[in-house]
């Protein structure tokens, strides 16, 4: 299993993650276990997007600001099958 938390954050873009906890924005509550994709990553913030809704194709997003070591509190990377 690859440990992405040791890699440069820029390499996280496009990776699939699973939330470790409930996360709230002003609009949404993303439940623990929600699958999301890293939309962008830099040393200031991570932007995550939900997978498109099967019915309506809408995606919701959230931003987490913090330090690289703290992101493990919010999500783990999911290995994708090709």
Give the pairing type, strands 16-19 and 35-41.
antiparallel
CA-wise closest residue to 47 among 74, 69, 29 = 74
The architecture of the domain spanning 4-77 is: Roll (2.30)
User: 0.75 exceeded by the pTM?
Assistant: yes
| Per-residue tokens: 29 | 């509550």
Which pLDDT does position 82 carry in this prediction?
A: 67
Residue 1 pLDDT: 59
Quick one: pLDDT at residue 22? 96
Q: Tell me which residues of the chain have a pLDDT lower than 50.
A: none
76, two tokens? 């783990």
Q: 61-65 and 23-24: which strand pairing?
A: unpaired
- Give pLDDT, residue 4: 86
């Amino acid at each position: 299993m690859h440990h992405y938390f040791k890699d440069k954050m820029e390499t996280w873009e496009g990776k699939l993650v699973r939330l470790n906890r409930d996360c709230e924005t002003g609009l949404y509550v993303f439940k623990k276990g929600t699958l999301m994709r890293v939309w962008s990553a830099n040393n200031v913030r991570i932007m995550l997007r939900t997978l498109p809704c099967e019915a309506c194709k809408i995606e919701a997003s959230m931003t987490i600001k913090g330090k690289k070591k703290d992101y493990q509190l919010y999500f783990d990377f999911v290995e994708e099958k090709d």
